[in-house]
Structure 1
């Protein structure tokens, strides 16, 4: 991802644009990779200033050469791109016709031509993966209409350029882009007459980056430069020494792509030489080995004919031979031949800079190891990495901060939270079962800007929940406090237990579930019958409880007079109604002038897995001699019980609807 500068949110778009519209200057224009801009004067640039774009040596400019500063503070046109033709001299194929496919990618006047058919295709292998930004195509007069140009990647994904093609005339540049492209395919409706085809990529290396003025660069493939001697010839060992002096070697471990690129380049170069040394030698004891001692993988060989066994007194090596179509041939090491050196690029090209940006370099030569430091003009903010580095492959890349994988942790496992190890990534330390992170220590560490994991590595301690919490009016029994230990609670005589009778020591170091509460029936009844100022808080809780139950009872009474089944559908065993009638002499209960005083009763069910609550229903409002009681059976998990500081018990019930 390329960095860019945007208007700072601290300045504000409307304020900046207002100032910008009244300005009479332009800021830094966009400069693409492999390109630089020449100005007649330093910035800021007044209207009329011309920015002239030049590409690095070997790169072609696709687009305008000049852009002008306009009166509104913007630059005219669109910035060009600077790219290399990565299809030149690469292997090509076509659907039919004579073997002419290669003509379209070579510097010869002939064209590639297919036979007449319902459809035709032509393809070129780029022998690598490139970020393509444009395609130049020249058709002959015999060609039918181009249907599509597809950019294909190594994993078989493809990008169609059909919408960019239009009505192709003789020579046309198509601005179609895709990354990691390895093949390009052209499809035509009938006959295809293709005279020139160029694929422009921005991440390729130019021959000048190889910095070997005394040699001819044949090709740059897979980040290696392959250069041949001009007229000088040497024996194999002397040729290897000459390459070592240049910081390289005779070609070793040549990939199939590099072998194909060398054959195509030597064929296109039309050299007068017939043989070139490469870095493979024969031994009597170990067979064929590379110049650095690694044995040859038979699956990676490129022999024209399989060689015989090397004799004990022979010193053999390998040449690329014209008679063999530039494939491998064995030869005595004492023979004098030209040679090919395999080296790494020595320089990078310009990394470019976004509009309204600035860049300074640690070295003006763009040598390997050079840093580019980015910033923005005043009023803009930088989005992206602030540093890039010229790598040893000759490509200048964003400097990625990577902390690497954390060290192995004996106390448990380390998890990459973001699944990355780059700047800002998180790691989480997870203890083995039965242990927990020591107190006051964080289980997380962060990848810092110094490529180090910030924070200390935590330690794990055995899980110990400590003594379980006691309960009032009850006792507890336990033998251990470590993981999975249990504690059993029981209540004193005449007290009932609400909640769970057992708790367990959990992995997080807490006793779960929470301890129960012990209470007795008489106390709960007294709370209803003898309210006083000293129990005001508890009384308020009971009043709220009574209101809720009264509403439920009224609703239950309504259903009862309507002839409904006393067992309400869908309420299962949680709700039952009972009617209790008694003779009170026509008098209301004591303390009440309006009718029966509502009472709440709570008893444990059998077995002890729920509580049963009783409350009067609306029937008691009509017949004073009968009290209709509604029974609620509620699981303990739905009951909230809290012991108050004054020793009383606060009970909160769920709202139920009969």
Structure 2
């Protein structure tokens, strides 16, 4: 199915709108929000137009091929495609590895919007209930509980393949999986019909007849004979017991129970040999067990046989493993007249006859002996079928059956999420695989997984989540460009400014994990030049109220001076004035000495220009202070008057003159009386006082008149501000010293008067003083 639009990145009309709402709803892979923007003028660059910032337009009637991404594959599965380019109409077909069953859609198709239909991928699962140990509340007729896990089902009730309980209140049935599994789905094939029933499935590690386990799923409705009922768990539930409970009064009949999980080791991953018996291989807790019951041998020969094939005799135990092996041996020999005997990998310790050790050297700490003690001549051990498959000590020279224990050699195909790829050499034990997501997707979960010795991968499979940021914000007087034409995760947008503006902020933004651009958009500020360089006896007029890019500074001279050089300069895009600075020169007339002849008098005059007020202080041209680029990043405001900088000018260059008599052609202007020279700092002053920003405004800058500042100018006694401050401080100290002196004098006088009043006159009549005569 061809697409109905294409992305050309051009603005093809003055107003871009979808014809109807249905047409707009069909947008998919390309952002068509431009079609909803109005007022975009033809010919205006798209990136510079506010409100019309998106980079694609919809052109109905043109076709662009759409492709789907990687559809994703579950664990233990392969996928094939009808088209290699994954274009619209491509069919993906799923196939599970040997030993696994496909649950879910086996075929998916690439739709016109670039997605796969149906949206969910299937699962490749393993039935772990077949051949395990079941039990039910009661048994009616020949409907024993083992018939529900014998691997055969029926479309209607049959006594030889379906279980059946008595008609009782709340009957139940459960199966012991012998090890915990992560149960994902339970399928029940019913053997009886019920118009209305409630069925509850529980999963856990408690025996259902002794304790309740968590509920996996519940169903209420009619039950049909032979029709399967699928009850998925909300989340994978771990447990070794799966039970089925029928609420209410009636019999419970099940033709087959399927317990599905994708976290189980199939026998297809175990080593296979031509001489091993059919159906002799089983798995438990990530290990393979092969039961050899057709070639009995002594202990040493059995041990070497297993080692030659990459395995060992059973050299470990636990209550769960002992239960699993006992059940497997019971299934194989329950119909035999003489129960079997199998070697196990435990021998008597030669240094301590009372203890036993495994073949791997570890001491036997957990044991399941039939009877303690025994003969000291029996140095080997066996699974004894006559004692319920408990342990017994045995003479090592007897010929018995044996069980070889193997490790899996591979972990199989790992799960590959949609829009991802994996990097791996192989899937053998110890290998490492790496996950990578397609552009625009974020990897959620571990990116590295390792194939473990138990045949399973470490960690869990990651997911690839698609992230997309919104349209980037436009900026005035600037442009933006999507670097790779996309707005998804880790895409970037680059901003730029037009001529005469400088970018303030980050020029490149990246789409971040929160689906936002990682920073605010920058802004474009106008380029500012410094104040134009003033010239002596000249004026500067600006074409604008500020020195922004494009402003023209026009130079002019005062009356009596002529301009030498270009008359104007302009503020360039780099912040420097473009053009040479002119100078103002004063015209002068010179005449050589007159030669007197007896008969003829000849007078020749020459007119030349020389700078005013020559001073023989330096033979070099006065330097002009250059101005470096310094953008002030402030918008052009017409309500402010321009700021003029004061510039110090070096004295004009002295022009060396020859011994020539200069005769002025006009009467000299009267000069003020000579004064001592006092250097002053010239400052620019605006000639006019117009309001800044008014129409036709022209700013005029004028340098100071330097004609009166020569070496012969009188220097008056002037005090600057520093002198006034120094005099004030000195006077303050004098006044403070006088005040302190007066205060000290007054305090001393007061103290003296107080002492005089307290003592009073001293005489013979005073009671407080004894006369010297009385002492005698």
TM, length-normalised to structure 2: 0.45
CA displacement, residues 161-201 of structure 1 (integer Å, 9 cap, x when unaligned): 44456544322222224232222111013321122111101
Alignment of 1:515-554 (within 5 A): none
1:332 deviates by 2.3
Aligned residue for 2:131?
Answer: 89
Distance 1:164 1:325 in 2: 40
Alignment of 1:92-111 (within 5 A): 92-97=134-139, 100-107=144-151, 109-111=160-162
With 214-223 and 62-71 compared, the bigger mean Cα shift is at: 214-223
Distance 2:331 2:436 in 1: 45
1:104 deviates by 1.5
Aligned residue for 1:352?
Answer: 415
CA separation of 1:145/1:397 partners in 2, compared to 1, >3 Å: closer, same or farther?
same
Aligned residue for 2:189?
Answer: 138
Aligned residue for 2:371?
Answer: 306
Q: Is the 8 A contact 2:179 2:240 kept in 1?
A: yes
Distance 1:106 1:261 in 2: 17
Q: Secondary structure at the match of 1:173?
A: strand
Aligned residue for 1:197?
Answer: 257
Q: Is the 8 A contact 1:310 1:316 kept in 2?
A: no
CA separation of 1:237/1:15 partners in 2, compared to 1, >3 Å: closer, same or farther?
farther
CA separation of 1:102/1:55 partners in 2, compared to 1, >3 Å: closer, same or farther?
same
CA separation of 1:280/1:165 partners in 2, compared to 1, >3 Å: closer, same or farther?
farther
CA separation of 1:142/1:251 partners in 2, compared to 1, >3 Å: closer, same or farther?
farther
Aligned residue for 2:394?
Answer: 331
Instruction: Provide the aligned C-alpha RMSD in A.
Output: 3.3
Distance 1:150 1:31 in 2: 29
Q: Is the 8 A contact 2:379 2:393 kept in 1?
A: no
Does structure 1 residue 149 correspond to structure 2 residue 201? yes
1:399 deviates by 8.7
CA displacement, residues 465-491 of structure 1 (integer Å, 9 cap, x when unaligned): xxxxxxxxxxxxxxxxxxxxxxxxxxx
Q: Secondary structure at the match of 1:265?
A: helix
Does structure 1 residue 160 correspond to structure 2 residue 215? yes
What are structure 2's unaligned runs of at least 5 residues? 1-25, 33-57, 59-63, 153-159, 462-728, 730-776
Does structure 1 residue 187 correspond to structure 2 residue 229? no
Does structure 1 residue 289 correspond to structure 2 residue 357? yes
Does structure 1 residue 174 correspond to structure 2 residue 238? no
1:346 deviates by 1.1
Alignment size in residue pairs = 381
Give the alignment partner of residue 274 of structure 1, picking from 329, 334, 340: 340
Q: Is the 8 A contact 1:278 1:320 kept in 2?
A: no
Give the alignment partner of residue 100 of structure 2, picking from 38, 56, 59: 59
Aligned residue for 1:236?
Answer: 299
Give the alignment partner of residue 90 of structure 2, picking from 49, 69, 74: 49
Distance 1:87 1:71 in 2: 42
Does structure 1 residue 225 correspond to structure 2 residue 302? no
CA separation of 1:210/1:217 partners in 2, compared to 1, >3 Å: closer, same or farther?
farther
1:149 deviates by 0.7
Distance 2:30 2:212 in 1: 46
CA separation of 1:326/1:309 partners in 2, compared to 1, >3 Å: closer, same or farther?
closer
Q: Secondary structure at the match of 1:318?
A: strand
Give the alignment partner of residue 317 of structure 1, picking from 349, 362, 381: 381
Q: Secondary structure at the match of 1:38?
A: strand
Distance 1:41 1:217 in 2: 43
Q: Is the 8 A contact 2:204 2:237 kept in 1?
A: no
Q: Which has the higher strand share?
A: 1
What are structure 1's unaligned runs of at least 5 residues? 1-13, 401-533, 535-658
CA separation of 1:262/1:356 partners in 2, compared to 1, >3 Å: closer, same or farther?
same
Larger relative contact order (Cα-Cα within 8 Å, sequence gap ≥ 6): 1
Q: Is the 8 A contact 2:269 2:410 kept in 1?
A: yes
CA displacement, residues 571-630 of structure 1 (integer Å, 9 cap, x when unaligned): xxxxxxxxxxxxxxxxxxxxxxxxxxxxxxxxxxxxxxxxxxxxxxxxxxxxxxxxxxxx
Alignment of 1:516-595 (within 5 A): none
1:159 deviates by 4.1
1:331 deviates by 3.2
Q: Secondary structure at the match of 2:169?
A: coil
Distance 1:310 1:16 in 2: 82
